[in-house]
Amino acid sequence: MTTLQDLDQLKQAAALKAVDYVKDGMVIGLGTGSTAKHMVIALGEKVKAGMTLRGVPTSQETAALARQSGITLIDTENRWDIDVAIDGADQVDPAFNLIKGGGGALLKEKIVAASARQFIVLVDHTKRVPALGGTFPLPIEVVPFGWGSTAREIERLTKSRVVLRERQGNPFRTEAGNLIVDAHIDRIDRPEELESALNLIPGVVETGLFVGRTDILIVGTPQGVDVQYAPRR
């Protein structure tokens, strides 16, 4: 049986492999979450060894860890040229499509991923799934105004149960001040179509579907680290 400690070691192994793609002088998109945390710490070790890097963090949590690790951060309100973004995922399907947003940073994560020349995704082997959905709900960031009506339209579209995310009994707020609803969809067979349809609903800010964005998938497995390259698009 794979324990949480085992999974954390697999995440760390994937993160250590990912930083091999980072070269001196690069601007790095810094993801958020337990796997990305290992990556930020590993990059900090490279900085201590003399490498020059600048980072664009996808959350305040990541920004704090990056500063603690000695990574220089770029003003997030400026225009960036990001060489590579590295982040984790909650689910990955065989076409390298993702569900992200379990930690609530999906909006910033997608902006950074879309701005990067290369997007590297780190997961442990349990995050691989035959199809997105099912065991993990789809996070959707919505504006607070009329969120209940927005959730109703999401339910109609997806034919699923949509739940407002809460933390300690209160609605969870993203760093942008928005809410997140989680759509419990049994199976997402056409993620690109679903992403487009959800983004047409007034009140939807962004979805946790990352479709066609992954360039390199790095998977920590009990047998070692597996590196896969996305087919050319």
Domain 4-129+212-222, CATH class in plain words: alpha beta
Q: pLDDT: is 2 or 93 the higher one?
A: 93
User: How far from the centroid of its chain's Cα atoms is residue 62's Cα?
Assistant: 12
Question: How crowded is residue 54: how many other Cβ atoms within 10 Å of its Cβ?
Answer: 16
SS3 state of residue 37: helix
Using an 8 Å Cβ cutoff, are 219 and 89 in contact?
A: no
48 annotated ligand-binding residue: no
Mind listing the pLDDT tens digit for each residue in 71-118? 999 987 778 899 999 999 999 999 999 999 999 999 999 999 999 999
34 annotated ligand-binding residue: yes
- Whether 68 shows a pLDDT value over 90: the answer reads yes
Average pLDDT, the chain: 95
Encode 183-192: b = buried (16+ Cβ within 10 Å), e = exposed: bebeebeebe
CA distance 143 to 207: 12
3-state SS track over 79-145: CCCEEEEEEECCEECCCCCEECCCCCCHHHHHHHHHHEEEEEEEEEHHHECCCECCCCCEEEEECCC
Mind listing the pLDDT tens digit for each residue in 157-194? 999 999 999 999 999 999 999 999 999 999 999 999 99
33 annotated ligand-binding residue: yes
Using an 8 Å Cβ cutoff, are 22 and 43 in contact?
A: yes
List 61, 109, 141, 195, catalytic entry: 109
What share of the chain in percent tops pLDDT 70? 98
103 annotated ligand-binding residue: yes
32 annotated ligand-binding residue: yes
Crossing angle of helices 191-199 and 147-158, rounded to 10°: 150
Same fold yes or no, 4-129+212-222 and 138-204:
no
Residue 231: band (very low, low, confident or very high) from pLDDT cuts 50, 70, 90: confident
**61 given a catalytic annotation:** no
- Domain positions in the chain are 4-129+212-222, 138-204
**CATH code given to domain 138-204:** 3.30.70.260
